[in-house]
Structure 1
């Protein structure tokens, strides 16, 4: 396992290995590796390659460690297609799409704690509510779609909720669960699951096709678009739909994110922002990112901590690069030439 510094080396001694000294006997003790106060960057890997892995990046953007799952688990292969990462309590849940499993690790040591496989069928997203895990599953080959529910306490299977349409992004708001019934820019519905009963209600988005759905301050927001305009909607924690803004003249918007009271979204390789409380149509983009081609531009796009993490997946032919921008100015904060894997698709803060 190669440990690197973005500019030089010495990652382990500078951050990961906390060394304490006893004044009585002058002995030194090296504490276990910890991944607190940084970011996990998920590398999807090429389909059927079993090349999925996770890179760790320190909060100050100065140090990185590649493939931390293998490093901390005796070089075990993580699996095929890392779709998403869920963080809850002291655990990280690694959603392995083509391996049909959720790998559970300690989020601070990345040691494996367990695996969920029961009723998992090409999982695409994960969220947590009221002591339970909810996983969205869509098998495009068999057209079988579901949300499966498990206990957080022991990872045991509880129930399966069948869907007739795709179950993709899944988020929690106000103790309830919302499932995006859209994928790759196709679909215009969100399903609200009342977690008290696990009954579901379908919500139709009036305009365009859904790009991405997120949770923020106990509400759900989704962005939809046509080839001429785009739209942001809010869904309350009880499933009430409210229009937020029509983004006139901005086509095919997707990648909705919310950070520090601002919306962020992309159209092609341009990134825009506007206020959540007083939204207005942006007159110009905040920044212009690398154009990676159809379906691959800004393949990994996350806004967190006042920073925009935008990946260049290089047509899935080489390890991804990542550019970190200021979410306020759009200025470049750091360019990471190599994320240590193929298909960087998400960034997750681990405070």
Structure 2
């Protein structure tokens, strides 16, 4: 009996020693920060049309500090360019679309170190979207150029798809790419005119248009945005506004009328909730088919708009000096005011 007890005790000690050694040999690994610009908001400053004054700013999630010119600071004071239109994200990369220099600068989204540049076949690039195998960039000069360029994952040009009137906003959703292919023009007296009422769908399997959706009103298409399953389009004039909810997989369309709301302009998505802003700076959210008034933002020229983690970002755009950005909570209280760059036009969660 004593011998059995001694053996059992020895076995227990050996097991405890092995577990202890194994624990010491395999410590828990802490996730290292990806870079200085992780967990915050990237702000795009469009810059002037004829001067290379485009810049990028950053604020952390807690809004505690602001860092400007982060592209130049992390790339040997390189000049970004003119007319910084938008940013698109794919994995750890951010694609910075500049429509006057006809280029897309690709950087690490967390360090802002440049990794590559796309220039091939670009002509006034506007917006960008991604599928697993391709990059899609709209090119639109409001005159003769109206196309989507397609590139592979090595940034090689694949082909272009031409459109009749427009190639503006573009979004990938549920395996398809949706393109805003109509919008706004003016008559000789500078009155707004709709160019048409179409949204086109590209099938990435063929890189060809497989569906054209014609919206059922005669209003101007103002904006388009998408999540994983739906594409949202806002149309308006000076007396009416509508939102269209397109099921990405099928192309089926639900029209949501917005009675009493005029001049709906800009869309935003935050935690699966849709928001929009009107030409009068009024902010709304949408619950099912009901628009709920939130508050009216302060801006002489509301240029950039987004909703991120419940906060509403609105830029009062200036093209002669710094723009002013006001960040509101959901009740309309200003939580932060920033001076940013020339023509602040976008806010992106990073």
Range moving further from structure 2, 302-311 or 41-50: 302-311
The alignment of Structure 1 onto Structure 2 pairs a total of residues equal to: 307
RMSD across aligned C-alpha pairs, in angstroms? 1.8
Determine the C-alpha separation between the residues in 1 that align with 2:299 and 2:263.
15
User: Could you say which structure has the larger radius of gyration?
Assistant: 2
Quote the Cα distance in structure 1 between the aligned partners of 2:67 and 2:183: 31
- Residue in 1 that maps onto 2:10: none
Q: Distance in 2 between matches of 1:176 and 1:304?
A: 25
Sort the Cα spacing of 1:321 and 1:183 in 2 relative to 1 into closer, same or farther, 3 A. farther
Paired position in structure 2 for 1:195: 204
CA-CA distance at 1:54 after TM superposition: 0.4
1:268-283 mapped onto 2 (5 Å cutoff): 268-276=279-287, 278-282=288-292
Is this contact kept in 1: 2:276–2:285, CA < 8 A? no
Deviation at 1:210, TM superposition (A): 1.0
- Corresponding residue for 2:28? none
SS at match of 1:64: coil
Shift of 1:226: 2.6
Deviation at 1:322, TM superposition (A): 0.5
Give distance in 2, aligned partners of 1:202 and 1:140: 20
Structure 2 counterparts to residues 64-75 of structure 1, below 5 A: 64-75=66-77
Question: Is 1:227–2:228 an aligned residue pair?
Answer: no
| 1:210 equivalent among 206, 215, 221 | 221
TM-score, with length taken from structure 2: 0.83
Contact 2:129-2:171 at 8 Å conserved across structures:
yes
Distance 1:32 1:254, change over 3 A: closer
Q: Paired residue for 2:112, among 110, 113, 129?
A: 110
Deviations 1:308-343 (A, max 9, x none): 1100113x12111101111x322211111x11x100
**Helix, strand or coil: the match of 2:290?**
coil
CA distance in 1, matches of 2:243, 2:202: 21
Of Structure 1 and Structure 2, the greater helix share is in 2
Number of the residue aligned with 1:146 = 147
Residue 272 of structure 1, CA deviation: 3.1
TM-score by length of 1: 0.83
Question: 1:191 & 1:167 partners in 2: Cα distance?
Answer: 9
Report what 1:123 is aligned to. 125
Q: Which residue of 2 aligns with 1:289?
A: 297
